[in-house]
Amino acid sequence: MLPAVRGDIRAALERDPAARSVLEVLFCYPGVHALALHRLAHRLWQRRWLMLARFVSHVSRFLTGIEIHPAARLGPGLFIDHGMGVVIGETAEVGRNVTLLQGVTLGGTSLKREKRHPTLGDNVVVGAGAKVIGAITIGANSRIGAGSVVVRDVPPNSVVVGVPGRVTYKDGQKVSGEIDLNQTDLPDPVGRAIEPLVARIRALEAEVEALGKALATEGIQVKEESP
């Protein structure tokens, strides 16, 4: 498990500017602790020591505030930033170099014992408080905006924002393969849809005002009705 822990520490140092030393990450980062305990719980689960595995995950949740089911499959390089309130369900699968911020839920939607939790591709970033629900796939290099609720598949290199989550692209172009933690300049598809409507309403108001003035110059009175 030591190489895996080294990878966890390296991921934290690379993706958190607040991390200043290996010792700080090792002793003060609950995400690193939760991942170490999950590996133990996952091995117990694979050996069919189910109750003991669940108990280890329960202890991890108590200590770190991060709940990871022992059966969940987590790829290398996963970084859970802060981590409080993060929930990763039983059939969730997480790729390489994924970043999860606090309050993220990888949840399920089915009562059957089947694949019911999401699959995250490599280099995915999920913003604070985002909910990814159901047996859906989030394509590699995608970003999920903070507070979004995603219930449908997301193609690779996408940016998803809103409730429910809507797929957009960064500046109309696919994002690069590098990990991008920026959560402040995400596009707003609802705002973009409303802006042309507002502009059209203003143009119509201007046309009506011009028409009213033209009629007034010809001596035709236009009766205005109160709304």
Identify which has the larger pLDDT, 148 or 221: 148
Q: Do 69 and 6 have their domain in common?
A: yes
Rounded distance between C-alpha atoms, residue 99 and residue 74, angstroms:
11
Q: Average of pLDDT values for 175-202? A: 65
Q: Do 133 and 62 have their domain in common?
A: yes
SS3 category, 154: strand
Mean of pLDDT over the chain: 85
Q: Average of pLDDT values for 96-112? A: 91
Q: Do 224 and 166 have their domain in common?
A: no
Which residues face 67 on adjacent strands?
87
Lookup: tokens for 110 = 């089915």
Q: Do 112 and 70 have their domain in common?
A: yes
Q: Is the per-residue pLDDT at 115 higher than 80?
A: yes
Q: Is the per-residue pLDDT at 113 higher than 70?
A: yes
What H or E segment, with its residue span, contains residue 88? strand 87-88
Q: Average of pLDDT values for 41-53? A: 96
Total structural domains within the chain: 2
- What is the side-by-side order of every strand in the sheet holding 93-94? 73-74, 93-94, 119-120, 137-138
pLDDT at 171: 47
Q: What is the model's pTM?
A: 0.74
Q: What is the DSSP letter of 192?
A: H
The residue segments making up the domain with residue 162 are 2-187
Q: Are the C-beta atoms of 128 and 184 separated by less than 8 Å?
A: no
Q: Is the per-residue pLDDT at 44 higher than 60?
A: yes
Q: Do 38 and 21 have their domain in common?
A: yes
Q: How many CB atoms lie within 10 A of CB 21?
A: 11
Q: Is the per-residue pLDDT at 198 higher than 90?
A: no
Q: Do 103 and 174 have their domain in common?
A: yes
Mean pLDDT lowest among 43-57, 91-105, 163-177: 163-177
Q: Are the C-beta atoms of 157 and 170 separated by less than 8 Å?
A: no
Q: Are the C-beta atoms of 111 and 128 separated by less than 8 Å?
A: no
Rounded distance between C-alpha atoms, residue 145 and residue 168, angstroms:
11
Q: Do 167 and 201 have their domain in common?
A: no
CATH number of residue 106's parent domain: 2.160.10.10
Q: Do 117 and 89 have their domain in common?
A: yes
Rounded distance between C-alpha atoms, residue 223 and residue 215, angstroms:
11
Q: Do 40 and 90 have their domain in common?
A: yes
Strands 166-168 and 159-161: antiparallel
Q: What percentage of the chain exceeds 90 in pLDDT? A: 54
Q: Average of pLDDT values for 113-128? A: 92
